[in-house]
Amino acid sequence: MAARLAVVLGGITLLAIVALVVMKLLGGNSGFDKPSLLSVAQDQTAITQLLTSTAQNTNTASLKNAVVSTQLTIATQQTELLSYLAEHRYKPKDKELSLKVSGKLQKQLQDAQSTSNLDSTLKTVLNDQLGIYQRDLSTAFNKAGPNGKKLLKSHYEQTNLLLEQLNQQ
Q: Which residues of the chain have pLDDT under 50?
A: 28-29
Contact criterion met (CB below 8 Å) for 126 and 102 = no
Contact criterion met (CB below 8 Å) for 133 and 47 = yes
The predicted structure's pLDDT at residue 55: 75
Q: What angle do CA 13, 14, 16 make, to 5 degrees?
A: 65
**CATH of 32-166 among 1.10.3470, 1.20.272, 1.20.1260, 1.10.10:** 1.20.1260
101-127 pLDDT tens trace: 999 999 999 999 999 999 999 999 999
Could you give the CA distance from residue 162 to residue 73 in angstroms, rounded to a whole number? 8
| Nearest CA among 7, 162, 150, 137 for reference residue 69 | 162
How is the chain split into domains, by residue range?
A: 1-30, 32-166
The predicted structure's pLDDT at residue 32: 84
Contact criterion met (CB below 8 Å) for 97 and 81 = no
The predicted structure's pLDDT at residue 31: 73
